[in-house]
Every structure is written in structure tokens, then in C-alpha cells.
Amino acid sequence: MSDITDAARAILAFNDRGGYTVPTDALYPFQWNWDSAFVSMGFATFNIDRAYQELERLIEGQWDDGMLPHIVFHVPSDTYFPGPDVWNTHHRHHKKPTTSGITQPPVFGMALRYIYEIALTEGREDVLARTRLLFHAALRSHRWWMKVRDPEKRGLVAILHPWESGSDNSPAWDEALARVSTITKTEICRQDTKHVSAAMRPHHADYQRFIHLVEVYRECKWDPVKQWSAAPFKVADVQMTAILARATADLIWIASHLNLLDEINELSTIHRILLDGLRGRWRNNLRGFVSLDLISGKDIQKPTQAYFIPLIAIELDTYQHEAVQDEIERWCNGMIVGVPSTAPFSSDFESKRYWRGPVWAVINWLIVDGLCKNHLAELAAIIEGNTINAIERAGFREYFDPITGEGLGGNSFSWTAAAYLVLRHRLNNQ
């Protein structure tokens, strides 16, 4: 084992708060949904029990209606805003801990398959009951997605808040977010800019709109039907839909192993619906997949990493293979490390500002996975190698400047450590 692999494991240990992992100390002091799913896969490369535990702690926050919240507030902390008082969601699920009121990308199902497969190769038959329990939690959340976030049956699931996407201040949301009021009743006490430079974080007006949205949904008492009608921000997101579709395929794989026939049928229907929805979002002229603004009815054409995420779920046609390869190469041209989260030739590109240009290791991990699935192994290997090099050069930072390779945002970041462990594990097992 290399020193750097050791260091990655040490970060997960350092950020462990008793069976769950915070994304990083102070800046993000709670359990985040998709961070934990990625982290559980990192753990699976060296500690299967801890990997399971990460997901088990996450479902402690699952709502009665199946939603898996984006933050679980296991213990209080005053180093993050907005905390549980701003969300005020306690009536939506009958047990502790308190949670936020929105969700995040459902990487959970992908993670569960990943760790279950490793457990099986290690001959760990004893994980069956744990797998079954987590499988049913995931299934309930997928039902929630289909019912609550695709009520108009487009085959695409919608986000009602940019934080749900995980790509908080992506240029993809600019136009839709501009329609949201900046007026808030809640005092905005940002903590993030005490930990990292404001130049790397979303703008103040973004935060005003983020909090305004929370207030609108809080006034709906977090009732999903009321929220759908009241939402001033509503986007059918291809990145979210692709992750849900892929996670659904992974749950089908688990259900087959567990011999759950009804569940296989149910999930197969969901899978078909989502793949049909995604296929309709491909745009030849843009060489990628685009989200749909459900309020304006318009395509969101801003070139962001979401263009390529559907590859994790879909088998592309031959002409699409070439198009995607050329487009990704164009985005990476002249960069020390790709893939930038916004195309560098776009007027929205900012190499250091959060989701407006920087490279994110977990996004590269998804892109690598999608390229491999689509027989673009050479390009996948280049991106994988660059990601590993960026981390080895700049450390386990939250994200990286694609032009300089500089590490930015939070330090000792859990999902960057997890990405390193998983990408290295894959390379070592090739």
C-alpha cells in the first residue's frame, strides 16, 4: 500500500464522527447524502463493515415518505449555515436525527451495489441482512423520486433547489435561479466564507435565493405536492436522472442476487422510463445531454459536466461516441487537469469558483465510469490518470483549478479521498 493510499484512509478516519463521515472538518460538520454514498465506496476498498455503516447512518435520516435528505444533523454544530432551525422539518419523519428538507443525487444505490459486490468477493455472506435492509431503503427512495419529482411523467426527475443537484452554483441554474426572489425573512449568517475564500464560493445573491427557496418550501410544511405547485425553481435535471437510472440498474442487480422478483419488475419499469426520458435530452449540436427548465419550458444549454453524466446510465449510439469524445477533449484542451465543471470556452467559466469551472474528483469518477461503460476506455484512462495525479500533486482538496492544477476549497476532503481510493483500487485490479 502506498503512502498516499494510507493518507486517503487517514482522512476518512479523521472525518469519522462515529459511523458517519463529515465531508470535511468545520466547513461541513454534518452527514451529507451523496458525499456519504461516495465515501462508503472508498471505505469498501479496505473496510466493508465501515462501508455498510456509512449507509446505515444515512438512512437514520430517511423521511416517512421515502426521501433521503441531503443533510442529516446527527449532532449540533454552529460552523455551518443553514442549520436545523432554518429547515424546521422535524414533522416529516418520526425519529431523530433532524435533517434538511431537500435531497441530493441518489448515488446510494450505486454505492450499495459496489460494496455488496466487494463483500461477495471477500466471501462475506453475513452482509445479506444488512444489504436487504439498505436495498429496501433505497427502493423506497426511488419510489419517492418517481412519484414526487416526476409527477407529470416525463421520465426525468426534477430538482426544486440548486443544492439538490450537488452542483450548487452551476451556470446551468443561472437563468432559472434569476427568477427567484432575493428577499428572505431569515437572517443569512454565512459560515462558509469564514473557512474558505469568498472568491471560491457562491455569491451572496445566490445565498439569498437559496434561502428564499428554503422559506417557500418550509411554508409548504415540506409537503411535496404543495412544494411542486409553489416551486419558483423547477428543473428536470439530466445529471440527477442519470444517477437515478444508473442506481436503479444497480438495485436491479442486487434484487436479482436477493431473488426479489416483484422488486426486479418494479425497478425494471422505472429504469425503462428513465432511459427513455434521458435519450430525449441528447442534443447533436451541443454534443451532450441537456436539462429542461420546467418553468420556462426551455432547454438549459449551458455547457456543464452534466452534459456527460448520462453515460453512466445509457449506451450511446456510435455517432454519439465520437461526438462525446471530441467534446470532452475540447473541454480538456490546454487544461492541466480536466474535466472542468463548466466548459473553459464558455463566458461563465471561472476556474476557481466552486461549480463554475473547477474539477471535482467525484465527477471525474462518474465520467470515467460512463466512458468505460461506453467503450471509450482510452479517454477514461487519461481522465483517471489526471485525477489521480492532481490529487497526488495538490492533496485531498475539495476541488481543483483546471488551468493550474491548484487544490482549492476545503482541506482533507472525504469524497476526494474516497475517489482516490476507488480509482486506485480499480487500477490495481485491472
Catalytic residue set: 168, 398
Measure the CA–CA gap between 409 and 357, rounded to whole angstroms: 13
Can residue 289 be called a binding residue for ligand 2M8 (CB under 6 A)?
no
Which residue among 168, 206, 266, 401 contacts ligand 2M8 (CB under 6 A)?
168
CB of 394 to ligand 2M8, least distance (A): 17
Binding track over 358-377 against ligand 2M8, x by CB under 6 A? --------------------
What nine digits make up the cell of 218? 418550509
Q: Residue 71 in contact with residue 144, Cβ under 8 Å?
A: no
Can residue 113 be called a binding residue for ligand 2M8 (CB under 6 A)?
no
Binding track over 63-82 against ligand 2M8, x by CB under 6 A? -------x------------
Kindly tell me which of 32 and 217 has the beta carbon lying closer to ligand 2M8.
32
Kindly tell me which of 70 and 424 has the beta carbon lying closer to ligand 2M8.
70
CB of 312 to ligand 2M8, least distance (A): 17
CB of 21 to ligand 2M8, least distance (A): 11
What nine digits make up the cell of 13? 478516519
CB of 408 to ligand 2M8, least distance (A): 12
CB of 297 to ligand 2M8, least distance (A): 27
Binding to ligand 2M8 (CB under 6 A): which residues in 188-207? 192
Residue range at the interface with ligand 2M8 (CB under 6 A); choices 40-48, 138-146, 161-169, 249-257 = 161-169
Which residue among 8, 23, 93, 239 contacts ligand 2M8 (CB under 6 A)?
23
Q: Residue 362 in contact with residue 38, Cβ under 8 Å?
A: yes
Residue range at the interface with ligand 2M8 (CB under 6 A); choices 163-171, 271-279, 308-316, 367-375 = 163-171
Kindly tell me which of 83 and 155 has the beta carbon lying closer to ligand 2M8.
83
**b/e 29-46 (16+ beta carbons within 10 angstroms → b):** bbbbbbbbbbbbbbbbbb
Kindly tell me which of 168 and 406 has the beta carbon lying closer to ligand 2M8.
168
Q: Is 180 helix (H, G, I), strand (E, B) or coil?
A: coil
CB of 194 to ligand 2M8, least distance (A): 13
Concatenate the DSSP letters of all residues of 245-301 into one string: HHHHHHHHHHHHHHT-HHHHHHHHHHHHHHHHHHHTTEETTTTEE-EEETTT--EE-
Kindly tell me which of 267 and 363 has the beta carbon lying closer to ligand 2M8.
363
Q: Residue 174 in contact with residue 97, Cβ under 8 Å?
A: no
Q: Is 192 helix (H, G, I), strand (E, B) or coil?
A: helix
Binding to ligand 2M8 (CB under 6 A): which residues in 204-233? none
Q: Residue 412 in contact with residue 396, Cβ under 8 Å?
A: yes
Binding track over 24-53 against ligand 2M8, x by CB under 6 A? ----x---x-xx------------------
CB of 276 to ligand 2M8, least distance (A): 27
Q: Residue 251 in contact with residue 113, Cβ under 8 Å?
A: yes
Which residue among 73, 87, 145, 163 contacts ligand 2M8 (CB under 6 A)?
163
Residue range at the interface with ligand 2M8 (CB under 6 A); choices 89-97, 162-170, 257-265, 304-312 = 162-170
Tally Cβ neighbours within 10 Å of residue 178.
11
- Taking CB atoms, the residue at the shortest distance from ligand 2M8 is 166
Can residue 166 be called a binding residue for ligand 2M8 (CB under 6 A)?
yes
Check whether the bond before 76 is cis (ω within 30° of 0). no
Measure the CA–CA gap between 378 and 371, rounded to whole angstroms: 9
Phi/psi of residue 311, nearest 5 degrees: -60, -25
Kindly tell me which of 27 and 324 has the beta carbon lying closer to ligand 2M8.
27
Write out the E strands in 102-141: none
**b/e 180-217 (16+ beta carbons within 10 angstroms → b):** beeebeeeeeebbeebbeeebbbeeebbbbbbbbbebb
Kindly tell me which of 143 and 190 has the beta carbon lying closer to ligand 2M8.
190
What nine digits make up the cell of 121? 468477493
**b/e 10-19 (16+ beta carbons within 10 angstroms → b):** ebbeebbeee
Counting residues that bind ligand 2M8 (by CB under 6 A) gives 10
Q: Which residues bind ligand 2M8 (CB under 6 A)?
A: 23, 28, 32, 34-35, 70, 163, 166, 168, 192
